[in-house]
Every structure is written in structure tokens, then in C-alpha cells.
Structure 1
Amino acid sequence: MRWTIAPAPDREKVTELAHALNVSSVIASLLVQRGIDSFEKAKQFFRPSLEDLHDPFLMKDMELAVHRIEKAIEEGENILVYGDYDVDGTTSVALMSSYLETVSDRIATYIPDRYSEGYGVSYQGIDYASDNDINLIIALDCGIKAIDKIAYANEKGIDFIICDHHRPGHEIPEAVAVLDPKREDCNYPYKELCGCGVGFKLIQALSVRRGASIETVTPYLDLVATAIGADIVPITGENRILAFYGLQVINTAPRAGFRAMLSQVKKETLTITDVVFTLAPRINAAGRMKHGLYAVYLLKEKEYDTALQFASEIEVYNSERKATDHSITEEALLQIDKNSEKDRFTTVVYDEHWHKGVIGIVASRLIETYYRPTLVFTKSGEKLAASARSVKGFDVYNALENCTDHIEQFGGHKYAAGLTLKEEKYEAFKAKFEEVVATTIDKQLLIPEVSIDMPLDIEEITPKMYRILRQFAPFGPGNMAPVFMTNDVIDTGYGKPVGADEKHLKCTIAKNGKQFGAIGFGLGKHHEIIKNRQRFKVAYTLDENEWNGNVSLQLKLKDIK
């Protein structure tokens, strides 16, 4: 791995901030690196406030969206809440439909089938609305590129409100309202909301119009926090406020569906990381293995016993998902090996029998072995469908834009995208994608990176420092857990590989008479470096270790050199 150390922040700003906040220069440096260089900014960072949420009516078309929904409620129209089948989509549908059900009894929900309909707004969904006398569809986490589908709905007399956060194409659909902060003509101050976040801004606007306070919609923030974590959007600005209060809801008043999924988890306080690795995979599993509506039913269920039944079904889907993605990953690695494709700049693999629901996970797994932009294809009807994942620093969405001659349709983000193409175009696309990446990627990006915030003397690590660091949470893109580096440490002599296949490393790191326990997941092979009291350097985050009721600080190793 390559280690990159962030530039040292302005010393004068650090000194001023440390004095203003009465904190150490280490804490002040970390804050200044994050753009927090004044008392007021620090107050907003450490004490997120719902009052700092932006006025939802700053978003382009919000007035139009609110007016159309109010008209539908007033006139007793049927409303269909439509969303994608992943975590962001299903939480969005649960949020919007459960809110609207408090003011109307004419709300239906719709999640497209991953296999028969594919991603986003579908003709089948519009036909369903038409057949069921539905005049208004609210599409969440999708729709920004559905030009033809929205035109089809207009022909049928069905209005659309789009709540999306993906990048628009050259044309905006002819919907009644298109809420997307990434629209070039939208002046909304924060651009990084997830789909559920855009949905939340809409229910916030509706509640404002009804004269209600922000507290009436805060119970929905558990869904927003889950989507923020799962969709890997930056946890900065407004997202930080939404995630902070959403985690409070999860930890103090979780909805029945969350309680049911967490019934086997013995943890007092959940972090955003726990949400990402515990709740999100289970919510996703429904859409991957069965149907996304199962997740919506679970998230909306009010009775705990019924929620437990839904959760146990979803647990089965999640187990199936794990087994399936494991076997497909093995097959994909064999295919790469067999075709001697280890020297390429990209990984592109295809098998018509691979399960479409897990190819995105498989793409992420392949990056763990071959660190480069990756696409995993499978057969989907008459066409091929793929999930794309990228390495840090490389925009795979832009790369796909340069391959549009071979693609039927695509959409997504900088680091994750989806696409479809005709089978006969596969080889040409594969060659073009390799050419685009090979000629545009900085070769350094093909080596996994450890981003280090700052060097740290081991003596500076104290319980007080860790208590303040914990208040930097929730962590995520744009506000990652601080990574430190310490040189010239030794192991006290008891370091050893641990776990299955001795994959991990456990040791005690010492310098200048001070020592800390350390754990390095996946670093078992580095035991040779630390043997015989050899000096080495470590990159790590700080963590707590609980053992037999005793809690102590430990270093969570990211790499050793």
C-alpha cells in the first residue's frame, strides 16, 4: 500500500483554534484539515443542529412538487410512491409512503423487479399506475434520466414528481417537478444528498406548509441515516446533521423493523459503520434475492412481532446472498486467472448465469484482489447488465461516458454505476473501457492508498483525546476516522498472527516506555516485520477494546512498514 500524508494545516490557525476551544494541537489540526477553523464552525461540527438544515424550498421545483401533492391529497387522488430496489430506494419509499399515509389513505408503493424490469422507472410501473387509476407517481432515487418513460406517463395522463440525486443527462425529464440538487440550474446549497435525503427534504417542505415543526419529521431520520451510510455519500454539511439525528433515532427509538433486524446484535450504541454492515446488507438482500417490497414492508411495519417475521425471512435472503456472492467471486477470480488478464488496467468479467442481484458486491470483492476499475456482467433478458465499481480517485462514471457508443443505458456515481448493452457489443465495449481507463487513469491510483491525517507521538494518545475524537463521528466520506502514523515502534515480543488461517495480527506496540494493544485485520502476513524487536512504523486509527468487562484504548492497524 502507498501511504499519503495530508499536508500540515496552517500553524497559526491551529494555534488560534486550540486556544479558542481549549483542545490540544492534535485535535485542532484535525479540525482545520476538515475546514473547521473557527469557534462557530467547531460548534456546528460538534453540536449538529436541526435548525441548521437548509430551507427545502431552496431546491428547484420544490414549490411545484408540494403544490401538486397538496392538490392530490385535497382531491382524493391515488398516489404511487415508486423507488429503486437498493437501500437508498427502499428507505426512500418507506419514508415517503409512511409520511403521506398520515395525511391520505390513497397511497400505494411500488418497487421495480430487479430481474424483469431492471433499474429505475419502468414502463410496467407506469402501466400499473394507469391500470389502478393512479394520477401521480413520486419517484425516489431514480428518474433523472427517464426521459422516454416520463413522456410515456404524460401520454397516459400520469404526472411525475422525481426525487433523485444522480447526475442528470443533457436533458431533464418533462415531469411536474424534478428535485435533484445536482441539476445545473438548481441553487440548493448542499449537493451531496442521497435519494432518501431528497425525499426527506420533500416531506420537510410538506410539513412546513402544514405549519408543523421539524420535530414532526425527525422520526423518519433513521431511514435517512441508513441510506446515507449505505449509499456512501459524504457525511459533511447537511448529511452530517441528518446522519447524527438519524443515529439518535436508531439508538433511542428504533422503528419495529430495525429492532427486529437488530434483535441478535448485542451492541448498546450503533455507529454509522454498524448501520452499514448490519442493517444495510439485510435491507439490500430483499431486492437482491427476492423483491425490494419485502424491505419496504419491514421498514414500515409497526407491530414488532410481525416485523420479526419479516426480518427472519430477510435473514434467509441475506444468507442466500452471502453464499451466492462468495461462489460467483470464486468463479470470477478463476476467469481472470484463466484468461491471463492480470496485467490489464481494468477488470471486466462476464457469465450469463451469474445472479444479477449480487454482481455489484462481486465487483467490490474483485477490487480487493485486483485493485482497478471493475465491471461484472451477467445476462438480463436479451441484454447484458453490469455493475461497475471503481478505485479511490478514479471516476468510473466519466469513463463510461466515453464508451457510450457501445452502451444501451447507464447511470450512477463516481465510484459505482450500472449499465446495459447488447451482447454483441460486449467485446468491443471491454476493449474500449480498457483503452479509456489505460489512457486516463493516474497509475498511482492502481495501488491501494492509506490516507494519513498526521504523524503522532504515542505519548499523545490519551483517554481525553479519544473522547474528543469520538465526537468527530459520524464518520464516512468527507469525514473519515482520523488515521495516524507513528515511526520507530517495537512489538513487546508477544505479537502473533491470529484468527482463521492466521489472517490477522495481534500485538502490543511500544515506544518511549508507553505501550498499547493493537489489532491488524488482514495483516497476519506482516508478522515477519515486527519479530525480534525490529523497529517498524504503523498507520492506524484509535479504537476501544473490551475484554472481560475491561475497556482499554487500542490501535486499529491499517498497515505496517
Structure 2
Amino acid sequence: MRWTLKPKPDSIVSEKLSEELGVSLPVAKLLVQRGIETFQEAKDFFRPDLDKLHDPFLMKDMDLAVKRLSEAIENGENIMIYGDYDVDGTSSVSLVYSWLKFRHPNVATYIPDRYEEGYGISFQGIDFAADNDISLIVALDCGIKEIEKVAYARSKGIDFIICDHHRPGAEIPEAVAVLDPKRTDCDYPYDELCGCGVGFKLIQAYTQFHNEETDSLVTYLDLVATAIAADIVPITGENRILAYHGLHVLNVAPRNGLASLIGNRKPVTISDVVFIAAPRINAAGRMKHGQHAVNLLTEEDPEKAAELAGEIEVFNSDRRDADKIITEEARQQIIELEEENRMTTVVYNEHWHKGVIGIVASRLTETWYRPTLVFTKSGEKLAASARSVRGFDVYEALEGCKDHIEQFGGHKYAAGLTLMEDQFENFKQKFEEVVSQTIDKKLLTPEILIDAEIDLEEITPKFYRILKQFAPFGPGNMSPVFLTRGLIDTGFGKCVGEDRSHLKCQVKQRDGGPAFNVIGFNLGEKLEMIKDHKRFDAVYSIDENTWNGNTTLQLKLRDIRESVEF
């Protein structure tokens, strides 16, 4: 692991902010690191205000989208809400459908079949719309590159409103409106919205245009927060406001489907959404069909929602089993092909489950820590999920291989693609070549970014209470990570867990100073490093541990090293 200590923030700015806010200097430094340098900026950070959301009409084509949607409602047209089969897509569809059905009876939802139709807008979906006299499709979390399919829909008399957040290609589809803050010709002030966030801006704009009460939209923010968390978009700016208030809804009055997935956990955090709700919502589209997720997220009867959640739990169990088997097969393939020394990981098996290859790609990236693609057979073509390492843009790398690719799309760290089977070896060679020529080799070693070096004495209940208010955490605002040097185990160090893979101990820094309990997941192999009162340095985050009704602060280890300064 590479330990990288972030640059120290400006001391004068930090001291001034510390004084203005009445907080300790370490807290003020953490804020300045996040670009918060004034009292007002700190107020906006700690108390995100829905009134600070940007005017939705700043987004290009928003006026056209609202006009066309208004016409469809006024004229009683049949409307289809179309979305991708992942969490962002199904949350987006559930959001717009739930909002629209109270003002318009002629509305249907459509999620493409992952296996028969693939990602994005499909000809099959458009044909379904035509067969059912649907004249307007609102596409969410997809569509920005669907030039041909949008044109096909127009030939059948069907209009499109596209709400997407993926990078556009060289050409924009000829839809009635294309809402995407990543459009180069769009001046919207914040371009990191997820697909559900763009969908929310659409209903916000409609509500605003028709002089309706915008407070009613707050009830939909549990879906927006779920999509923000699952799609791993930065929790900064507008996303922070939406996630903050969406988490409040999740804790106070969540929709039945999300409540059934999350259970009685309180308070619900972004981590709960990422590790509990999101995998289950995703499992529907991975193992069965994404429509199951929409049915759950839009269900108004609590008993029916619980029943649907139970069905999705079965899908998730099947997903975990497939994930485990395929990951092991992929690891064996890498070892047998003796490809451990490559800059990339590219594996393929025609029998691997298409719904799981993205998860497997993430697992392989964690093990070998390099840009990774996992391929499987999909009809006459091969389909792949790509994952990257921090700091390397896999989407750009795929751009360099596009001569061998049929179709691709995605983000900096996660993408998907299809290609013809006879292009697989050519693509594999080209991908290795492009990555080898463009990647900074240090990015192939996992990095821990450290916010600050502190002493244990600085960790007080008040310090932690303020740290908790930095939440919700996520990209752009990760949970603070600290470095403390010269720690010593007080004599309780041991390996714990079923396979004894976790490290548990109690540490102090100096005689008479405070002692803290420590847990280090998957760090059991470093037990020898802390034995016999050896001094060591630790990188960790701070959290709470409740045992027998007693809550104490504990250090959650990221890594440890032998200390050389003590």
C-alpha cells in the first residue's frame, strides 16, 4: 500500500476558520482540505439547504423537456418511463413514475432485459411502445449515444426526452430534449449528477414551471440518495444536498420497498445503502429482470413490499453464489495463463453469468489492482464489464481501442462494451498496449490517501461528534483518514474472526495517554508487527463500537507499518 499524506492546508486560512467556527484546528484543516474556507461555506456544508439547489432550467433543453411533457399530460398521451436495469436506472424510473402517476393515468414503465436487449434503449422497447400507442418515452440513465434508436422511434411517431449523465459521443441524438449536464454545450453549474438526479431535476423543473409546491418533491429524495450512493458519484455540491435530505427521508419516512430492504437499522447511512440496499436492487436485473426492482420501489402496500423484498433476497443469494464461483474461475485463468505481470487483466469465459461480470471485475481489481475487463458470451457477440484503479480513466483507454469495439459507454472507473468474438485477441492486445503507454506505473499499487497526521490525544468525543457531521461520506468527501505514529499494543493484540484474518488490539501512544480499541479487517497477518511492544505507525478512520449497551470510539485500521521514529 502507498501511504500518501495530503498536502497541508493553508495555516492562516485554517486558523481563521477555526476561530470563526469555534472548532479545533484539526477540524478546520479537514474543512479547508475539502475547499471550505469561510463561515458561509462551512454553514452550507454542515447544513445542506434544498433552497441552494440549482435552477433546473439552467440545464440545456430543460425548457423543451418540460414543454413536451406538459403537452403529453394535457393531451392524455401514453407515456413510457424507460430506464437501465441497475440501481440508478431502476431508481430513476421509480422516481419519475411515482411522481407522474398521481397526475397522469396513462403511464407505463419499461426496463430492458439485460440478456435479450442489453444495456440502454432497445429496438424491442421502442417496438413495445409503438404497439401500445405510446407517443413519448422518457429515458433515464441511458440514451445519450442512441442516435440510431432515437431516429427509429421518430420514424414510428415516438418522441424521446433523454435524461442521462454519461459522457456524450460526437453526436447528440435528435430527441425532443436531451438533458445531460456532461454535454459540452450545457452550462449547468454541476455536472456530477447521477441519472436519477437528472430525473429529479426534470420533475423539479415541471413543478417549478407550473407553480406547484416544490416541498412535495422531498418525499422522492430517498430514491435519489439511493442512486447517488450506488452509482458512486461524488457527494459534493448538489449531490451532497440531495443525499443529505434523501438520507433524512430514509431514516424518517422511507418508501416501503427501501424500508423492507434496509430493515430496522438506524440511523441509515450511505454505507447501509451501498452494502445492503444497492446489491439487492441490482440483483433483480442481474439474475432475473430489473422490473422486479421497480415493482419493489414503487409498491405502496407494506406487506406486498415485504413479499417483493423476499423475492429479491433470493435473487441476491443466487448472485452471491455465482459471484463466488466465477471470481475463482477468473483467478485461476489469470494464474494458468501466467499473466500476473501484465498491466491489465482481461479474462473470458462464454458461460459466465452476464449479470455478475461487473462484480467479478471489481473483485479482480481488488486482487491484482490494474485495469480489468471480464468478458462473457452475449448472443453472437462478447460483452464485458470494465473496472479501473484510482487515477486511471478506463473509458479513455477504451476510446483508444474503439477500432476493435462494437459499442461502449460508461465512466472513468467503470464501463461496459461489446465486440465481435473474432476481435477478442486483437482487443486484448490493444488494451494492454494502450494502458501500458498511458498509465502512471505507481497507480498499479493501491494508495491510501491520508487527510492528516494526529496524536491520539486529539481524538475526543467532541472531535468525533463534529466529524460525524461531515457525512454523508462518499467520493469527493470520504470519511477522514488519519495517521498516528509510534503506537504500542497494550497487550491484547490477537487475530479474530472465523478464519482469524482480522486484527484486534488496544493501543496507546505514550504513557498516561488515552488508549483506544482497534479493529483491522483482513490485517491479521500483521499481528507479528505489533507483538512484544513493538512501535508501529497506523492509518485509520474513527468510528463507534457498541457492545453490551456501551458505546466507545474505536480506530478502524486501514494499514500499519513498523515505526522508525520511536
State how far apart, in whole Å, the 2-side matches of 1:182 and 1:267 are.
36
Residue 539 of structure 1 is matched in structure 2 by: 539
C-alpha distance after superposition, 1:266-322 (max 9, x if no partner): 422110011110100110000000000000000000000110111110000000000
- 1:212, CA displacement in angstroms? 1.9
- Partner SS for 2:211: coil
Runs (4 or more) in structure 1 with deviation over 6 Å come to none
State how far apart, in whole Å, the 2-side matches of 1:528 and 1:215 are.
57
Residue 57 of structure 1 is matched in structure 2 by: 57
Contact 1:485–1:539 (CA<8 Å) still a contact in 2? yes
Residue 552 of structure 2 is matched in structure 1 by: 552
Residue 524 of structure 1 is matched in structure 2 by: 524
- 1:511, CA displacement in angstroms? 1.0
Residue 343 of structure 2 corresponds to residue 384 of structure 1: no
Residue 163 of structure 1 is matched in structure 2 by: 163
**How many residues are treated as equivalent by the alignment?**
559
Amino acid at match of 2:314: V
Residue 443 of structure 2 corresponds to residue 445 of structure 1: yes
State how far apart, in whole Å, the 1-side matches of 2:386 and 2:365 are.
11
- 1:500, CA displacement in angstroms? 2.0
- Note the aligned Cα RMSD (angstroms): 0.6
Contact 2:207–2:213 (CA<8 Å) still a contact in 1? yes
Q: Could you state the TM-score of these two structures normalised by the residue count of structure 1?
A: 0.99
Residue 326 of structure 1 is matched in structure 2 by: 324
Amino acid at match of 1:177: A
- Counterpart mapping for 1:342-421 below 5 A: 342-421=340-419
State how far apart, in whole Å, the 1-side matches of 2:514 and 2:108 are.
61
- Partner SS for 2:478: coil
State how far apart, in whole Å, the 1-side matches of 2:362 and 2:522 are.
17
- Partner SS for 1:500: coil
Residue 452 of structure 2 corresponds to residue 454 of structure 1: yes
State how far apart, in whole Å, the 2-side matches of 1:449 and 1:530 are.
22
State how far apart, in whole Å, the 2-side matches of 1:189 and 1:267 are.
35
- Counterpart mapping for 1:418-437 below 5 A: 418-437=416-435
Contact 1:371–1:446 (CA<8 Å) still a contact in 2? yes
- 1:406, CA displacement in angstroms? 0.2
Residue 100 of structure 2 corresponds to residue 100 of structure 1: yes
- 1:260, CA displacement in angstroms? 1.5
- 1:213, CA displacement in angstroms? 2.8
Residue 213 of structure 2 corresponds to residue 213 of structure 1: yes
- Partner SS for 2:369: coil
State how far apart, in whole Å, the 2-side matches of 1:171 and 1:522 are.
47
State how far apart, in whole Å, the 2-side matches of 1:212 and 1:67 are.
15
Residue 267 of structure 2 is matched in structure 1 by: 269
State how far apart, in whole Å, the 2-side matches of 1:391 and 1:428 are.
23
Residue 167 of structure 2 corresponds to residue 183 of structure 1: no
Q: Could you state the TM-score of these two structures normalised by the residue count of structure 2?
A: 0.98
Contact 2:167–2:410 (CA<8 Å) still a contact in 1? yes
- Partner SS for 1:502: coil
State how far apart, in whole Å, the 2-side matches of 1:249 and 1:514 are.
38
Residue 202 of structure 1 is matched in structure 2 by: 202
State how far apart, in whole Å, the 1-side matches of 2:399 and 2:419 are.
13
Q: Which runs of 5+ in 1 are unaligned?
A: none
Amino acid at match of 2:106: R
C-alpha distance after superposition, 1:76-126 (max 9, x if no partner): 000000000000000000001111111100000000000000000000000
Residue 564 of structure 2 is matched in structure 1 by: none
State how far apart, in whole Å, the 1-side matches of 2:24 and 2:207 are.
43
State how far apart, in whole Å, the 1-side matches of 2:41 and 2:24 are.
17
Residue 341 of structure 1 is matched in structure 2 by: 339
Contact 1:165–1:182 (CA<8 Å) still a contact in 2? yes
Residue 26 of structure 1 is matched in structure 2 by: 26
Amino acid at match of 1:338: E
- Counterpart mapping for 1:96-245 below 5 A: 96-245=96-245
State how far apart, in whole Å, the 2-side matches of 1:498 and 1:435 are.
43
C-alpha distance after superposition, 1:521-552 (max 9, x if no partner): 11111101111100000000000010000000
- Partner SS for 1:392: coil
Amino acid at match of 2:92: S
Residue 470 of structure 2 is matched in structure 1 by: 472
C-alpha distance after superposition, 1:435-455 (max 9, x if no partner): 000111000000000000010
Amino acid at match of 1:439: Q
- Partner SS for 1:17: helix
State how far apart, in whole Å, the 1-side matches of 2:365 and 2:398 are.
18
Contact 2:490–2:506 (CA<8 Å) still a contact in 1? yes
Amino acid at match of 2:45: F
Contact 1:508–1:516 (CA<8 Å) still a contact in 2? yes
C-alpha distance after superposition, 1:488-521 (max 9, x if no partner): 1111111111102211100101112221000011
State how far apart, in whole Å, the 2-side matches of 1:304 and 1:132 are.
31
Contact 1:50–1:214 (CA<8 Å) still a contact in 2? no
Residue 87 of structure 1 is matched in structure 2 by: 87
State how far apart, in whole Å, the 2-side matches of 1:259 and 1:430 are.
44
Amino acid at match of 1:87: V
State how far apart, in whole Å, the 2-side matches of 1:447 and 1:232 are.
21
- Partner SS for 1:357: coil
Amino acid at match of 1:331: E
Residue 71 of structure 1 is matched in structure 2 by: 71
State how far apart, in whole Å, the 1-side matches of 2:213 and 2:476 are.
30
Q: Which runs of 5+ in 2 are unaligned?
A: 562-566
**Which stretch shows the higher mean deviation, 238-247 or 506-515?**
506-515
